[in-house]
Structure 1
Amino acid sequence: MSTETVAVHAEPLEEASSTLKPVNLKFPITYAVMAMVALGVFALFSPAGAVTRFRLGAPTDFIEIPLAEVPAAPTNWVLGAALAALAVLAFVRAYQRKRLGRWHPVLFGVLFVAAFLVWAGADRGAVIPLVTMLTGALALSVPLIFGAMCGLVGERTGVINIAIEGQLLAGAFLAAVAASVFVNAYVGLVAAPIAGALVGALLVVFAVKYQVNQIIVGVVLNVLVIGLTSFLFSTVLTQNSQLWNARQQLPRLPVPVLSEIPIIGPVLFNQTILVYLMYVIVALLYVFLFRSRWGLRVRAVGEHPKAADTVGINVNRTRTINVIFAGAIAGLGGAFFTVGQGLAFGQEMSAGQGFIALAAMILGRWNPLGAMFAALLFGFSTSLGNTLSTIGTPVPSEVLLMLPYIITIFAVAGFVGRVRPPAANGEPYVK
């Protein structure tokens, strides 16, 4: 072969090598740091001979599971070694410029949490109630999931919804009042989405019709709902709480057979109708958003409204309908604070959950399943902190309070990376 031929064949190889993407070590380094924490803290400082006890069920379960006792130090050395192996695998795949499967961060997170629990409960004289902790995690996640679905539908059409907090609070207020007046929690469940939809209607009037800055409108609506509900609470609800603010609770509806499955049965299938509605809404949104004509229109309006308009899609009408619909979803989430838990309405009882739901939506990359798992991450971390504070751990109580946000920071920095919102998000559309 001549030297000219070799040169001709070498040039494309040089161009191909120069276009290789750089090695991204952010994920592997995050895994490595967490693996070192597991080995250097959880395993090394587990008391010698100590055991950690887990309760995997209740005596009333169809199949009673005895207490699980694990030796703390040996278990954490094994878990730490497994985490280190997963971190090494992440480095290998990074240098090969190949992506890891979704199983990798999930498995890594489960093993890391298991190591933390074994260390935190070692030689404490208490039992870690795993099923109770998981049930609490799901309960704490319900309003976050509804709020994240609300923000997702709105932002997929190009409307930023900062008013999720107000929609959750409005849903909680009207659910409590309606359930109290009619002495029926199901009436409150029907009224809650109406309140959320009304707040959503105010959002589209100013943000879509009059093209006011969407973030400013959302903040103002939050202040409006907080002020209005606080005023009505202090003047009307407290004066005659038996009529306007009596406790009403949705009953639990255990699913036959499924609710008897050990561990997951009591957590997933012994819930109220509100939780079952959450399952349905997340599944339907995922299917319709990516597999239906409606979903295609919604995503087109959020990504390129001008192109959507040229093919006959009414952009502002699509935004209006979907933002109001999204507000109804958030209203359902607000019902969990009152009729979902059997509580009377209290001032500002949403306590910033709308903003956490917004963070869960971003963490989930504007995908219903991703947002749901992100909300579950928040709920689990909060439930984990509550559980550990009751059994007594070497972790300071202030750190336990920060735990949901610490876990979220690790998730954003190590497991998610850069996220991209819909291209036309926050931009008003004018023909």
Structure 2
Amino acid sequence: MDPILTPFLAATVRTATPLAFAALGEQVGERAGVIFLGLEGAIIAGCLGAAIASGAGPLAGFAGGILAGVLVSALFAAFVIGLRADQIITGTAITMFGLGLTGAVHRGLFADAGASTGGTAATVGPVAIPGLSQLPILGPALFAQPWPTYLLYGLVPALAWWMRGTHAGLALRATGAHRDAAAAAGIRTRRVRTLAVLFAGAMGGLCGATLVLAQVGTFTEGMSAGRGFIAIAIVVLGRWAVWGTAAAALVFGGAFALQYLFQATGWDAPYQLFLGFPYLLTLTLLAVQRTRTGAPAELGRP
């Protein structure tokens, strides 16, 4: 096993997993014409929900995280789809509300554990697949991961097939391409948009649950750390395609994993440089990709 490359690739896949969950959910929402800017709020809610519910076991933790994300997205959908509120303003408000509420709830529940951290969660460890995990270099990176990563391996092709090969996927894309024409064809566009947003919230909650239960092991205030906004950028860079979104998430996973690579090589540099690199990469790639090729025509319409 390569002492540097293999751990870097493993860290890339591990850190890309929650990003990919969030980005794929956001992509479904945007395919219906809705920018779920409250994704960051759904992620942090999923983090706290998973930490609290994991007292009943890891599976309960994941269920709690997903449920928390769905509740955040339901609040967003009530305003944006039900009341036709502005998507950007509502999403920003939902995110700020989520960050504030989770902080307040966390401090109330874990007041004795400190101001910002506390509540050790029941975590899931790596699951090595016999045979495949022994492959050189890529084996440990791809096939010795926690089970949410394997769930992602199945989700990507399944979602790509669903978007292109089912009537429901066609209805979703038609709603995002031309809502009025889709409605005239008998598609219940309001229901399609609502379900798409709820799915985005569920994936945001799963992202948060994965952060807590498969990586960090505890809840920390603000631990979403802008991943919701990075996930939105990933959708743009992936050109609103499932496989493109997954590939872009892997790139950003590598950006987050660079800190482990530089530590392994002994490069002495401020750790803040490594922490800030994914966000610098976001700005750089968005500046390079100026066109919105592949964007749904109805994106952002009330």
Q: TM-score, normalised by structure 2?
A: 0.91
Task: Give 1:151-170 correspondences, 5 Å limit.
Answer: 151-170=26-45
Consecutive unaligned residues in structure 2, runs of 5 or more: none
- Give the 3 Å change call, closer, same or farther, for CA 351–407 of structure 1 in structure 2: closer
Q: Which letter does structure 1 place at the counterpart of 2:301?
A: E
- Give the 3 Å change call, closer, same or farther, for CA 321–234 of structure 1 in structure 2: same
The superposition leaves residues 97-155 of structure 1 with CA deviations (integer Å, 9 ceiling, x where unpaired) of xxxxxxxxxxxxxxxxxxxxxxxxxxxxxxxx111111111122122111111110111
Equivalent residue for 2:248?
A: 374
Tell me, in whole angstroms, the C-alpha distance in 2 between the residues paired with 1:405 and 1:235: 31
Equivalent residue for 1:341?
A: 215
Tell me, in whole angstroms, the C-alpha distance in 2 between the residues paired with 1:404 and 1:325: 26
Task: Give 1:241-390 correspondences, 5 Å limit.
Answer: 245-341=119-215, 343-390=217-264
Task: Give 1:219-258 correspondences, 5 Å limit.
Answer: 219-239=92-112, 245-258=119-132
The answer to whether the Cα contact below 8 Å between 1:150 and 1:164 also exists between their aligned partners in 2 is no
Consecutive unaligned residues in structure 1, runs of 5 or more: 1-54, 58-128
The answer to whether the Cα contact below 8 Å between 2:37 and 2:88 also exists between their aligned partners in 1 is yes
- Give the 3 Å change call, closer, same or farther, for CA 395–345 of structure 1 in structure 2: closer
Tell me, in whole angstroms, the C-alpha distance in 2 between the residues paired with 1:138 and 1:172: 19
* Alignment counterpart, residue 199 of structure 1, candidates 61, 68, 72: 72
Tell me, in whole angstroms, the C-alpha distance in 2 between the residues paired with 1:396 and 1:170: 30
SS, match of residue 248 in structure 2: helix
1:404 CA drift (Å): 2.9
Tell me, in whole angstroms, the C-alpha distance in 1 between the residues paired with 2:274 and 2:119: 33
Task: Give 1:73-92 correspondences, 5 Å limit.
Answer: none
Tell me, in whole angstroms, the C-alpha distance in 2 between the residues paired with 1:191 and 1:400: 31
Task: Give 1:37-116 correspondences, 5 Å limit.
Answer: 56=2
Equivalent residue for 2:91?
A: 218
Tell me, in whole angstroms, the C-alpha distance in 2 between the residues paired with 1:200 and 1:136: 29
Q: Which letter does structure 2 place at the counterpart of 1:167?
A: A
SS, match of residue 136 in structure 2: coil
Equivalent residue for 2:49?
A: 174
SS, match of residue 345 in structure 1: strand
SS, match of residue 84 in structure 2: coil
Q: TM-score, normalised by structure 1?
A: 0.65
The answer to whether the Cα contact below 8 Å between 1:186 and 1:250 also exists between their aligned partners in 2 is no
1:423 equivalenced with 2:280 (yes/no): no
* Alignment counterpart, residue 187 of structure 1, candidates 47, 54, 60: 60
1:294 CA drift (Å): 1.1
Tell me, in whole angstroms, the C-alpha distance in 1 between the residues paired with 2:37 and 2:31: 14
1:308 CA drift (Å): 0.3
1:417 CA drift (Å): 5.4
1:390 CA drift (Å): 4.7
Q: Higher relative CO (CA 8 A, sep ≥ 6), structure 1 or 2? A: 2
- Give the 3 Å change call, closer, same or farther, for CA 399–334 of structure 1 in structure 2: closer
- Give the 3 Å change call, closer, same or farther, for CA 409–209 of structure 1 in structure 2: closer
The answer to whether the Cα contact below 8 Å between 2:233 and 2:286 also exists between their aligned partners in 1 is no
Identity of paired residues, percent?
35
Equivalent residue for 1:134?
A: 9
The superposition leaves residues 272-323 of structure 1 with CA deviations (integer Å, 9 ceiling, x where unpaired) of 1211111222221111112211111000000100000111001111111121
Tell me, in whole angstroms, the C-alpha distance in 2 between the residues paired with 1:370 and 1:195: 27
The superposition leaves residues 359-409 of structure 1 with CA deviations (integer Å, 9 ceiling, x where unpaired) of 111110011111111111111022124421453448776654443345445
Q: Calculate the aligned-residue CA RMSD, in Å.
A: 2.2
The answer to whether the Cα contact below 8 Å between 1:389 and 1:400 also exists between their aligned partners in 2 is no
The superposition leaves residues 61-112 of structure 1 with CA deviations (integer Å, 9 ceiling, x where unpaired) of xxxxxxxxxxxxxxxxxxxxxxxxxxxxxxxxxxxxxxxxxxxxxxxxxxxx
The answer to whether the Cα contact below 8 Å between 1:248 and 1:342 also exists between their aligned partners in 2 is no
Tell me, in whole angstroms, the C-alpha distance in 2 between the residues paired with 1:394 and 1:253: 33
Tell me, in whole angstroms, the C-alpha distance in 1 between the residues paired with 2:271 and 2:105: 35
Aligned residues: 298
The more displaced of 205-214 and 252-261 is: 252-261
- Give the 3 Å change call, closer, same or farther, for CA 407–230 of structure 1 in structure 2: closer
Tell me, in whole angstroms, the C-alpha distance in 2 between the residues paired with 1:231 and 1:404: 28
Equivalent residue for 1:121?
A: none
